Amino acid sequence: MLHQIAHYGLLGALAIALLIAIATDLKSRRIYNWLTLSIALAAPLYWWSSGLGLWPGVAIQLGAGIGVFLACYLFFALGQMGGGDVKLLGALALWIPFDRLPALVVMMAIIGWLLTMGMAAWRVRASSGSGLSRDMLVLIGCFLCAFAIGAVLLGEAALPSALLDWSAESLAATLAIAVAPSLLLLVATLVSLRVIKRHARRIQVPYGLAIASAGLWIIATDLAAGSGGTPLAG
């Protein structure tokens, strides 16, 4: 009973911390060190409340957190991520079950992409004057394409039965169906970036919002699926 109370209490605290990260990132484009450090330091308590064993459970979570942090640090070194975003995602990875990390990354990437496109569309709209310009229509099309692809990648939408039947006919067809969503998303991204560069040199996107929102989505979907009680213990 104590473990269960602590478990849900810690999940609630994590959700509050992620909401604070969203608020501070939107307000000042900053995610405070005390917040990300608190999330990281509270992770062992969450492992205890989940009944996670030291081996391999805790070892996997530590490895995932360190691996995500190091991978994101490379993006920080390249100027593609902020330091607060790197620390927030690394701390959050300590909480997320290893088999849910791909879903977290996909959701984070989709939200970040949609945020970027939404802010770019606003910039294009402002620089193009009244009415829907050709560039605006292109961005809207890319936005809808990304939204549909994201739904498929996250399992929220199913492919047409005809495509599924065709993919079952051969290995080549299966690989084509598996790769197609990512390729389409890449094309939509490249087309969008080409449009954006004609109207703005740099767009400051609050990626902390994308990271925290993806974390909240994982928490909500796991609880809704009835796996919120011991998601890490599997």
| 172 half-sphere exposure, CB direction, 13 A CA radius | 0
Whether 29 and 44 map to the same domain: the answer is yes
Comparing 16-25, 71-80, 187-196, 209-218, which segment has the lowest mean pLDDT? 187-196
End-to-end CA gap in the chain: 18
Cα dihedral sign for 169, 171, 173, 178? Answer: positive
CA quadruple 216, 220, 225, 226: dihedral sign: positive
Which structural domain, as residue segments, surrounds residue 172?
100-203
* Same domain, yes or no: 55 and 7: yes
Where does a domain end: 95, 114, 131? Answer: 95
Express as a percent the part of the chain with pLDDT over 90.
20
**Which tokens belong to 132?**
């829907």
Q: What is the mean pLDDT of residues 5-29?
A: 90
Structural domain count, the chain: 2
Together in a domain, 54 and 116: no
Mean pLDDT taken over the chain: 78
Is residue 153, in this structure, part of any structural domain at all? yes
Query: Which whole number is the average pLDDT over 125-139?
Result: 66
Q: Region 115-142: what's the mean pLDDT?
A: 69
Residue 165: its pLDDT value, please? 72
Conformational region of residue 10, where left means phi above 0, alpha means psi within -120 to 50, and beta covers everything else: alpha
CA 204 to chain centre: 17
CA-CA-CA-CA dihedral for 149, 153, 157, 160, to nearest 10: 80
Shared domain for 8 and 75, answered yes or no, is yes
Confidence of residue 203 (pLDDT cuts 50, 70, 90): low
What pLDDT was estimated at residue 32? 93
